[in-house]
């Protein structure tokens, strides 16, 4: 029984009822739903075997992408604190559990509904089917190295697959291994979470260092963004305003107070996006 569960094999139909065909292999009987197609007694059929929620032996010709010998990303659909998380591998009457033994000790770092885990299947000594998370070697095998020239400051998105004290590892949509140092995030991502960050470096082994913190211009205030827009639309990248301008001039042009204007200029100067000279505010060219 153990070698049949979670595997694809060829079996023979030896009987039927109104709803199912009976498929036999090694003396063990499995149910094949007639809605999957018309068959005849004596036909040989290839399919995937498992036990459904009712503990019935089921055989399906619709092969799931996740099997004992094949891994694929599966969506998390639920969790149970005493068991683990449930993933959907495409079986209509069965969700597969990833054991809590494979999950982070901190519950808040467990995958949530909608997260993705790269899993394959395994069967225990009681013929129970489990999903097991791919290890680091498997992620490295499916990845390719990044290069500094093409990736610096590029936005990348991917799925977190390993949480460690030194930082977070994820695999990008382009199949690069990404690393997020704790100093480059505001909070630790969950296992299986989809994250987006920017490349801040590439290691000699091709692993890309990524920051989840926004670029300086992405955290400026709306007032600062408005001033940037004025500068970008000006002919020479400068405007005849500075922190010495009068409140009336500022209010007339920008519709904000002088205090707001000075704070906005301060944030832009701190981000090295502008300079001031002789009463002018000047956009820094990059």
| Residue reference for tokens 């075997």 | 49
Note the helical H segments in the chain: 136-142, 148-151, 222-233, 247-254, 258-270
Contact status, residue 60 vs residue 91, Cβ threshold 8 Å: yes
53 and 81 part of one domain: no
Q: Does any domain span residue 168?
A: yes
Q: Does any domain span residue 1?
A: no
CATH of the domain at 51: 2.40.50.330
Total-model pTM: 0.72
Phi first, then psi, for residue 234 (nearest 5°) are: -75, 155
Contact status, residue 168 vs residue 159, Cβ threshold 8 Å: no
Which regions of the chain are under pLDDT 50?
Answer: none
Token duo for residue 74: 């599966």
CATH of the domain at 235: 1.10.10.10
pLDDT, position 219 = 58
Look up the domain containing 161 and give its range. Answer: 143-211
CATH of the domain at 130: 2.40.50.140
Query: How many CA atoms lie less than 13 Å away from 203 in the CB half-sphere?
Result: 13
pLDDT, position 118 = 97
Q: Does any domain span residue 53?
A: yes
Give every CB contact of residue 207 below 8 A, 6+ residues apart in sequence.
Answer: 145, 146, 176, 177, 178, 179
Taken as a whole, the chain contains a residue count of 286
pLDDT, position 217 = 54
Domain count along the chain: 4
Domain boundary among 191, 211, 231: 211
User: Which of 121, 81, 123, 88 lies closest to 103 in space, CA to CA?
Assistant: 81
Q: What is the DSSP string of 56-111?
A: -EEEESS--S-BTTB-EEEEEEEEETTTEEEEE-S-TT--EEEEGGGS-SSGGGS-
């Amino acid at each position: 029984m153990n070698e049949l569960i979670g595997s694809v094999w060829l079996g023979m139909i030896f009987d039927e009822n109104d709803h199912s065909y009976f498929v036999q292999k090694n003396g063990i009987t499995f149910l094949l739903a007639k809605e999957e197609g018309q068959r005849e007694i004596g036909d040989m059929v290839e399919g995937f075997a498992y036990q459904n929620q009712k503990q019935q032996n089921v055989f399906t010709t619709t092969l799931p992408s996740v099997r004992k010998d094949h891994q694929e990303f599966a969506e998390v659909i639920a969790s149970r604190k005493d068991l683990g998380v449930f993933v959907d591998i495409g079986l209509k009457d069965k969700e597969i559990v990833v054991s809590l033994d494979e999950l982070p000790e901190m519950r808040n770092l467990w995958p949530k509904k909608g997260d993705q885990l790269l899993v394959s299947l395994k069967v225990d000594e009681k013929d129970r089917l489990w999903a097991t998370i791919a290890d680091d070697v498997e992620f490295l095998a499916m990845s390719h190295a990044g290069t500094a020239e093409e990736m610096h400051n590029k936005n990348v998105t991917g799925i977190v697959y390993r949480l460690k004290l030194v930082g977070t590892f994820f695999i990008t949509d382009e199949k690069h291994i990404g690393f997020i140092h704790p100093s480059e995030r505001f909070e630790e991502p969950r296992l299986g979470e989809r994250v987006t960050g920017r490349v801040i470096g590439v290691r000699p082994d091709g692993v890309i260092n990524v920051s989840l913190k926004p670029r300086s211009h992405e955290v400026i205030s709306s007032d600062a963004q408005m001033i940037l827009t004025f500068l970008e639309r000006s002919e020479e990248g400068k405007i005849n305003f500075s922190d010495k301008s009068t409140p009336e001039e500022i209010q007339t042009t920008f519709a904000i107070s002088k205090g707001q204007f000075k704070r906005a200029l301060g944030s832009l100067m701190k981000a090295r996006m502008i300079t001031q000279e002789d009463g002018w505010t000047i956009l820094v060219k990059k």
